[in-house]
Chains A and B, each alone.
Chain A
């Protein structure tokens, strides 16, 4: 996703001189083409995220479309108040880019796990939150953000994520993408869990004949209301999937929406990290176990919804 981001941003910035990239000293082996081709539209503030964000607001005030860049929690939590006051309060076109959202920096430890970022960003009025599901979405999201819209948060993975979309997509901020259609249950994923969600859904189809609808909810805010409502009305239940805490992430956003709309899905489960500290290190796959087992969760939801989960085995 990182590569898709920088390549597309560089192309966009060559055409639109308003596009500006600021880093707080990260981007080694990634930013060099942008920096070297477009030095007038590039800035390294040093390891100083608060200053980076304030400067971004100042530049955006003068008409730039500014991308601030760092990893994990540094461009978000470290300078949250600058984002709140200097960027959002003034409704400026600043895009906060975090590489390594979720558990991407798994073995680097707890400090490098960006697992509250979506929740924190959701609290800000006007903040658009995009967590692309694969490099194709990351490219499209980057280009969509090179525009006049207000503040946005772009939560990326790192590098080497699998491509989920084999074909070109029509990307629109706030509009979920349907990866697979089905009526038994809906899996709504945001961010890098998309490939894993699709794999799990395909495994259940093969093993148990379960036909899941799979949505890539790349935009967590504003969330695609219609897609969520349709999932609740048309399918046997909803499971949200994310590398984020269950408190405050996509799962919360979907639950908030449905309850406020007065719609009750047959069953609901948010799959994500619990509200507990994890102190062991390990790969992302290892750490993801703290969220539970997605396949088991899906079966539980189906059972709760009255779905004959033994159907497949009877066939």
Chain B
């Protein structure tokens, strides 16, 4: 019975995906942006029946599978030539964003745990980081919902704003990809913005974002250590985390990153050009389905619970790092 609900939900995603591709072609909008818009409009107007939700909720699986497959088309020489510079930027942005967001949250009177959730969501990988760090520092449900809503609000805005700004400034594929991969929040919106700009920009955006995501375990562990050793438990107690520190690192690590790395090596060694082209086409279909689901998740009712002060903390951090990183990329690339 559940299997039927899952299959029906996936079928609905596929139908909406194909329809949005046709519709986007007709009105001259990128098909990925079109898929998100179609999903968001449906979610906020007629809604989707509860029956198909298990299938619709599989959209992150299609996103991750699509990301793994685009690994095959990434040229290793390009990664190695820009790698050290991008890696240095990723590390600087993660540390810098954590410090600035924590500082701003403290300055504006946000409770420590909520501030930490906002800082982790801003610096690492959006809602996944919020949930992961929340588990480590024992944040309560309302803090998680509050921080997630704030991050989702910015995800919803940056999906459309980043490509628009990129086109306005005439950014190169490399600059746009690395910029969005470094400074946008959740993986889905980064991938959508990147690939809606160009295939090359999408590859750089994904590569940069996944490098950021790989630090989720370390950031969570850092918060567990900080909360268990230095911070007082004024807002709801702390925990030293589930299991040992190594277990924690492995539990939080985004496993599909392993598949992405394996696919890069396969694409640069054994896979033929025709096979890589087929995998690229497959990832396009997977993204189309995934982004309809991403749009269906963009429900206004979920965004309304974001408060003004958390929004201000994230907004100031985003503006600061977005402009700093863009200036740096334009000056050096």
A binds B: no
